[in-house]
Structure 1
Amino acid sequence: MTILLQYTNITVNDPDESIAFYRDALGLAVRNDVASGGFRWVTLGTDAQPGLGIVLSEPHPGRSQADGDALQELLTKGVLPMLVFRTDDLDAAFEQARATGAEVLQEPIAQPWGPRDCAFRDPSGNTVRISQD
């Protein structure tokens, strides 16, 4: 039996702003853009992992008002789970992201647990790390 991750969701405030970050800073491509009831779900991906999609969505669609409000509060605080990407050229990935004006949280450094990595904040406040073994 094989189990693979198909989608992961990222909560964002503004899909268009977030598309620009994930596309331009990280090099992902828009695979699907679905609008429904005034909201959007945008799936991005990469040719290196064709079966994996990253879905950008706002806090409220598909949730109760209270749950959407709670998720929005966590997003605003910047405490939602981070995303960690892997690359074979950390320095190039870092420079590409920085060149787009992405907020740098950490320049590339060697971590005591092994990899070199760096960190950015996406336009909604999510932490995005990029790692190289």
Structure 2
Amino acid sequence: MKIKVTTIYVDDQDKALAFYTDVLGFTKKNDFGNGGYRWLTVVPAEDPEGVELQLASNANPAGKAYQQATFQQGQPAIQFFTDDVKADCDAIKAKGVTLRMEPTDVTASTIAQLDDGCGNIIQLTQLNW
């Protein structure tokens, strides 16, 4: 078995697509709809056949409740790993995004956090081991 798709809920799929592609550098993989439902995924630009991140509408009440509770608790909805968290944060800030947490050394890693503007906290992690 392997992980092929993981999902986060967003309050605006178009806005989320712009953020994940224009700010974080992902590439749109799938975007199609059926009867008001939209299947929208992005992948890392350097791994187009890798794990897809579904940007699912939080129109589903259970999804919206989960998304809001996670955000209110300050928990990241997703975590992305990077080889250079400081450089990535500098690039993200240059695009006008304010970090919730600047790169911070924690046990065996350096982490930073930002809002995706669509109801989620994103954590960037650089392993230090």
The one-letter code sitting in structure 1 at the alignment partner of 2:125 is: S
Choose which of 23, 43, 46 in structure 2 pairs with 1:45. 43
Contact 1:23–1:30 (CA<8 Å) still a contact in 2? yes
Instruction: Name the SS of the counterpart of 2:53 in structure 1.
Output: strand
In structure 2, give the amino acid aligned to 1:128.
Answer: I
2: CA distance between counterparts of 1:102 and 1:40?
26
Q: Percent identity?
A: 28
Matched, 1:9 2:7: yes
Selected match of 2:125 from 101, 126, 131? 131
How far residue 27 of structure 1 moved from its aligned partner, in angstroms, is 0.9
Q: 50, 68, 72: which one pairs with 1:76?
A: 68
Distance in 2 (alpha carbons) for counterparts of 1:89 and 1:52: 20
1:77-116 residue pairs with structure 2 within 5 A?
A: 77=69, 78-79=71-72, 82-111=77-106, 113-116=107-110
Conserved in 1, the CA contact under 8 Å of 2:76 and 2:122?
Answer: no
TM-score (ref. length: structure 1): 0.81
Tell me the alpha carbon deviations over residues 12-48 of structure 1, each in whole angstroms, 9 at most, x when there is no partner: 0111110111112211100110112223221100223
The residue type paired with residue 104 of structure 2 is I
CA distance in 2, matches of 1:49, 1:89: 21
> Please, which runs of 5 or more residues in structure 1 have no aligned partner?
61-67
- Quickly say closer, same or farther: Cα 1:103–1:70, change in 2 above 3 A: farther
SS of the residue aligned with 1:33? strand
After TM superposition, give the deviation of residue 49 of structure 1 in Å: 6.5
Runs in 1 of length 4+ with deviation above 6 angstroms? none
Segments of structure 2 that go 5 or more residues without pairing to the other structure are none
Q: 2-side partners of 1:49 and 1:110: how far apart?
A: 30
